[in-house]
Structure 1
């Protein structure tokens, strides 16, 4: 399936911005031609898969205006004036079952609205906070992974494992290609550079919280295929690019930081080292601590699962009392608020408070819960804000679930004494959680940062100063 160009932000310098463009063409056909005012950018073949070749063009554009480039003759304009900045934030771009069979007009309604918003007032960067694809069905159709995660063989011969790897590589390609060619997304992604961090559905539902099955040969082959796909489709990268793009040069953790004038965007990797008893491993924590060293005045932390939330550990412990609820336990174990991750959660919150105490203003962006919400963590002067925008295409859960979470939120939570967490309604909304598909805009005008949600049924919220 043909798609592209999809832009990715590499680095912003004083006079220029480094970009990469990902595209896909049938194998044997030439790469698309990308041309700027300074000439034609060279094309690099990244991989052949399923009869198609993935190509990358590395190029630069000048900062300070609305420069453009041409791809196969079509002109695309990119906003590189980083005085006043508009950041878009999306997550949960799909559904667990039958996502590729959904009607495109229904599936991509919020992408079209985001593209319209960009046409009216350009975005500088598009942040993707996890579950860029829902790859849960990629394991189907192969005898070794058909029963994942409930029934997988203990071992298989090397030829069978190699065949499984090929199968998974092609299934991941199909899902990313269909997603990137979708109406609304393609034209937007050709003009707004993306920065992405993965979550569980980019691998499989609940990855990191499934236990011993992840250590099987099938589990490790699945993770390797998903990681390869994450590098290719979410960063236009291959293994050799890891030291230049991520904070951990070993690649065991794939967290990253990108700096724009006046703002550092930090995305810790909450999946690569996750287990049922930890969120990040040594490499992930070391990478995150490096990212928090000497950032800009404003720090945006992309936490793929909400950093601030209600006392979900109460539900998690209650579920252990009945086997009927065991299938939901993995979902709760995925959260920072799980009783199994209490120590790490506190460590992360203290890191945020240390940034605030050092004079940096922090805002956390999260997805994952298929609802829109916001929360505040009491800091020394003004609260630290968390903004959750979740379901750009994933349909919202029943409003009763949103009301139930809102009731739980009233209990309050304070993992760090004197720094309580409070769940607040979105601007203009009555309840703490909003059950509508949505995306978020985070914008700086002068010295002021504001945020607003675009909701499928309710429209745009008023601006919130953060």
Structure 2
């Protein structure tokens, strides 16, 4: 792989750079492996921090070898400090792809650093309690110079070679390091708590949408991708089941109850049963709703999914999902996996209907709680509301994408496939457009206080002066 030149090893993240206050002394910044404890609270959780082996002292190596001892520190990571118990402030973003290929070498996309500087300034101005990275936080296949995933995908018996497996593991680690080590991103990562979930590009584009994904070599690619994702992004949040394969998260912080779905670990579109999430994850979601029902402080329930609940026309999902893959690869630039990712595609619609059913039951029990789904993935920002049959209030669907990925469907394609105004989807309800599509880089700020929830789409709009910040207050 030909990563950008001039980025010294000292400038690259190892695993996580955090600042913690330890009882033994003043705050200090250290490079650590992060290992979550089995503690399962929804407001705060404990950390056990272990120095990375590459930075271990000889004495630490000896302790490890002889006695199995780790030089650990313990801390508590709390989302809502007591003085802000009645307020919650979050930022969501997705799709970080700052590189492009020129003459066979990866270089920075011309505006990427400007966008990230803008992002860092917006974050420091807003000062969120937590930042949600909503999938595609780095790309294994985003541009030809750094596309390592397709060097092994579908390529015979590479996985039987230990050196090939180690090469792939190293490339996945380099992916996170190079995507996250740009100075504005480093500063934000080191300054604010982050909750990350993964999507397909942390593995390979469209992972789980085609039967070929589950051949032995491709499954080994997935296993290695998940192993590395556990080191970088799936270790930094309140996992509902820390030792389970799926990595869904949940917490309550003052007026906010948040459930972050993992819709990629289990994904198998051609599986007759669990295509998006497991039965266990669904049951965890319903159990979480039961907990939130009894919490009178909660005013807003926000779910996060990497892919939006709604946004595509029904005929699009029904037609493209069933077209032969070779035809969509040739005529539609490989769009079939994107459509199969949609919650309203024929294979995934039963799961969406089940999730909406339990949300409707929750809303009947707690009509005072607003429900919003926040998502990413599609490289544009959108807002819809879903009015389920018999419901007295809508569910809002807000999509923020992308922070740096500048590719998106053309206006003509968007007009063909997107819900432009209103559409009734069986099993879902009436879907209505709230915001026009925004194609410029964007992030979403969420401020919940005083009985109101304010969602602001912050837009970097140098290319399109007509696109500006949007706001929705519920």
The TM-score by the shorter chain falls in which range? Answer: 0.7 to 0.9
Q: TM-score, normalised by structure 2?
A: 0.75
What does residue 430 of structure 2 align with?
A: 420
Which secondary structure state, in structure 2, belongs to the residue aligned with residue 87 of structure 1?
Answer: strand
Which secondary structure state, in structure 2, belongs to the residue aligned with residue 423 of structure 1?
Answer: strand
Q: How many pairs were matched up?
A: 413
Q: How does 1:377-416 map to 2 (within 5 A)?
A: 377-378=386-387, 380-397=391-408, 399-401=410-412, 403-404=414-415, 408-410=419-421, 412-416=423-427
**Residue pair 2:458, 2:470 contacting (<8 A) in 1 also:** no
Is 2:36 aligned against 1:27? no
Is 2:316 aligned against 1:314? yes
Q: How does 1:337-416 map to 2 (within 5 A)?
A: 337-359=344-366, 360-378=369-387, 380-397=391-408, 399-401=410-412, 403-404=414-415, 408-410=419-421, 412-416=423-427
For 2:304, which of 299, 302, 305 is the aligned residue? Answer: 302
When structure 1 is superposed on structure 2, of 171-180 and 404-413 the one drifting more is 404-413
Q: CA deviation at 1:413?
A: 2.9
- In 2, the alpha carbon distance for the partners of 1:318 and 1:235 equals 32
Q: CA deviation at 1:135?
A: 1.4
When structure 1 is superposed on structure 2, of 305-314 and 367-376 the one drifting more is 305-314
For 1:445, which of 434, 449, 455 is the aligned residue? Answer: 449
- In 2, the alpha carbon distance for the partners of 1:6 and 1:105 equals 30
- In 2, the alpha carbon distance for the partners of 1:170 and 1:140 equals 16
- In 1, the alpha carbon distance for the partners of 2:85 and 2:260 equals 20
1:181-220: per-residue Cα shift (whole Å, max 9, x none)?
Answer: 1121111122210111111111110011021x32222112
Which secondary structure state, in structure 2, belongs to the residue aligned with residue 340 of structure 1?
Answer: coil
For 1:268, which of 261, 265, 269 is the aligned residue? Answer: 261
**Residue pair 1:62, 1:80 contacting (<8 A) in 2 also:** no
- In 1, the alpha carbon distance for the partners of 2:159 and 2:427 equals 50
Is 2:335 aligned against 1:325? no
- In 2, the alpha carbon distance for the partners of 1:141 and 1:408 equals 34
Q: How does 1:9-158 map to 2 (within 5 A)?
A: 18=45, 27-28=54-55, 58-60=74-76, 81-94=84-97, 98=101, 101-103=106-108, 106-136=111-141, 147-149=151-153, 151-153=154-156, 155=157, 158=160
Q: CA deviation at 1:114?
A: 2.7
With over 3 angstroms needed to count, the CA separation of the structure-2 counterparts of 1:329 and 1:288, relative to structure 1, is same
1:42-97: per-residue Cα shift (whole Å, max 9, x none)?
Answer: x99xxxxxxxxxx98642378886xxxxxxxxxxxxx9734332100000112696
With over 3 angstroms needed to count, the CA separation of the structure-2 counterparts of 1:439 and 1:325, relative to structure 1, is same
1:234-276: per-residue Cα shift (whole Å, max 9, x none)?
Answer: 1447xxxxxx953345523211112211211101210111111
Which secondary structure state, in structure 1, belongs to the residue aligned with residue 308 of structure 2?
Answer: coil
- In 2, the alpha carbon distance for the partners of 1:449 and 1:276 equals 35
**Residue pair 1:111, 1:184 contacting (<8 A) in 2 also:** yes
Q: CA deviation at 1:415?
A: 2.5
For 1:5, which of 11, 14, 17 is the aligned residue? Answer: 17
Q: CA deviation at 1:343?
A: 1.3
**Residue pair 2:93, 2:133 contacting (<8 A) in 1 also:** yes
With over 3 angstroms needed to count, the CA separation of the structure-2 counterparts of 1:319 and 1:138, relative to structure 1, is closer
1:138-179: per-residue Cα shift (whole Å, max 9, x none)?
Answer: 999999x75554x421x4674x1x223211210011111112
Is 2:162 aligned against 1:166? no
Q: CA deviation at 1:6?
A: 4.6
- In 2, the alpha carbon distance for the partners of 1:365 and 1:202 equals 19
With over 3 angstroms needed to count, the CA separation of the structure-2 counterparts of 1:102 and 1:195, relative to structure 1, is same
**Residue pair 1:313, 1:338 contacting (<8 A) in 2 also:** no
For 1:434, which of 431, 435, 438 is the aligned residue? Answer: 438
- Give the CA RMSD over aligned residues: 3.9
**Residue pair 2:159, 2:217 contacting (<8 A) in 1 also:** no
In structure 1, list runs of 5 or more residues that go unmatched. Answer: 32-42, 45-54, 66-78, 238-243, 426-431
Which secondary structure state, in structure 1, belongs to the residue aligned with residue 84 of structure 2?
Answer: coil
With over 3 angstroms needed to count, the CA separation of the structure-2 counterparts of 1:462 and 1:62, relative to structure 1, is closer
With over 3 angstroms needed to count, the CA separation of the structure-2 counterparts of 1:24 and 1:393, relative to structure 1, is farther
With over 3 angstroms needed to count, the CA separation of the structure-2 counterparts of 1:308 and 1:191, relative to structure 1, is same
**Residue pair 2:256, 2:302 contacting (<8 A) in 1 also:** yes
When structure 1 is superposed on structure 2, of 115-124 and 403-412 the one drifting more is 403-412
Q: TM-score, normalised by structure 1?
A: 0.77
**Residue pair 2:90, 2:131 contacting (<8 A) in 1 also:** yes
- In 2, the alpha carbon distance for the partners of 1:246 and 1:346 equals 24
- In 1, the alpha carbon distance for the partners of 2:353 and 2:306 equals 17
Q: How does 1:237-316 map to 2 (within 5 A)?
A: 245-248=238-241, 251-277=244-270, 278-295=275-292, 296=295, 297=298, 298-316=300-318
Q: CA deviation at 1:440?
A: 0.4
Q: CA deviation at 1:407?
A: 5.8
